[in-house]
C-alpha cells in the first residue's frame, strides 16, 4: 500500500523545470510555467523485483501551489490527498487512515519541487533523450546517492504529459500512462480537503 502511494508522490515533481536545452526539458519548463491546475486519468503498471505485476488506475488532480489528490479507482477507494499542510492516505480495505506533515512526507521526493518553489536542477541531472514514437523524452537522474530511485523517464506529446517510467533501487519499475489531460481548469476546493470516514483507525507517522 505505502509503496504505491510513495511512487505516486515521487511522480508529481517530474513536472518541474530544468536549465537544460532540448525539447523534453523545454516541455518540463513550459509545463511548470503555464500549468496551475491539472486533471488527468492514469493507468499504472508496477513490476517488483520478483516479476510480480500490479495494475492500478484512477484520476489525478493538482493545484499549485501545494495541493494534490490521487483517486484510485482500482483498487477502489484508495486515496491520497495533500492539502498543503498534511498528506492523508486512505485504505478502505484495511479501514485505515495514515497522515503526516506534508513537509515531512515529501522531503527528499521530487513531489516537493512541483508544489513548491524549488528548482529541480538542484536535485537532478536532466538529460534530453530526443524523440521516439512521436513523443519527446527526458530523463531525470538523482544527484543524491541516497535517493530511493535510479531514474525517472517521462514523455510529452506536443507539450502534454503522456508517460512516466520509474526505476527504484529495489528492482521495482513503475509506468504511468496519462489520458484526458486537462490543464488550467477550475477544480473544486473540496477535492483537496480530506474527510475522515467514521470507524477507521487513524495513524500519524
Whether 143 shows a pLDDT value over 90: the answer reads no
Whole-angstrom distance, CA of residue 169 vs CA of residue 187: 36
Banded pLDDT at 19 (limits 50, 70, 90) = very low
Whole-angstrom distance, CA of residue 183 vs CA of residue 61: 10
pTM for the full predicted model = 0.80
Question: What class, spelled out in words, does domain 2-204 have in CATH?
Answer: mainly beta
Q: Which residues contact 102 (CB under 8 A, 6 or more apart)?
A: 66, 82, 83, 84, 85, 86, 87
Question: Any idea where the domains of the chain sit in the sequence?
Answer: 2-204
Q: Write out pLDDT tens, residues 53-71.
A: 999 999 999 998 889 999 9
18 against 167, higher pLDDT: 167
| CB distance 126 to 18 below 8 Å | yes
pLDDT averaged over every residue in the chain: 83
Amino acid at each position: 500500500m505505502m509503496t504505491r502511494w510513495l511512487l505516486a508522490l515521487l511522480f508529481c515533481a517530474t513536472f518541474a523545470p530544468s536549465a537544460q536545452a532540448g525539447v523534453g526539458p523545454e516541455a518540463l519548463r513550459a509545463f511548470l510555467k503555464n500549468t496551475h491546475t491539472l486533471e488527468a486519468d492514469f493507468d499504472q503498471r508496477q513490476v517488483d523485483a520478483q516479476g510480480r505485476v500490479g495494475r492500478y488506475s484512477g484520476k489525478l488532480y493538482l493545484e499549485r501551489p501545494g495541493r494534490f489528490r490521487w483517486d484510485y479507482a482500482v483498487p477502489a477507494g484508495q486515496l491520497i490527498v495533500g492539502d498543503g499542510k498534511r498528506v492523508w492516505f486512505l485504505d478502505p480495505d484495511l479501514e485505515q487512515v495514515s497522515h503526516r506533515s506534508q513537509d515531512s512526507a515529501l522531503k527528499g521526493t521530487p513531489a516537493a519541487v512541483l508544489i513548491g518553489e524549488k528548482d529541480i536542477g538542484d536535485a537532478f541531472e536532466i538529460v534530453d533523450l530526443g524523440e521516439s514514437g512521436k513523443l519527446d523524452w527526458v530523463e531525470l537522474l538523482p544527484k543524491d546517492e541516497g535517493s530511493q530511485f535510479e531514474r525517472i523517464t517521462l514523455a510529452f506529446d506536443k507539450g502534454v504529459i503522456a508517460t512516466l517510467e520509474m526505476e527504484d533501487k529495489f528492482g521495482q519499475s513503475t509506468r504511468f500512462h496519462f489520458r484526458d489531460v486537462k490543464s488550467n481548469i477550475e477544480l473544486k476546493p473540496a477535492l483537496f480537503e480530506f474527510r475522515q470516514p467514521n470507524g477507521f483507525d487513524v495513524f500519524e507517522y
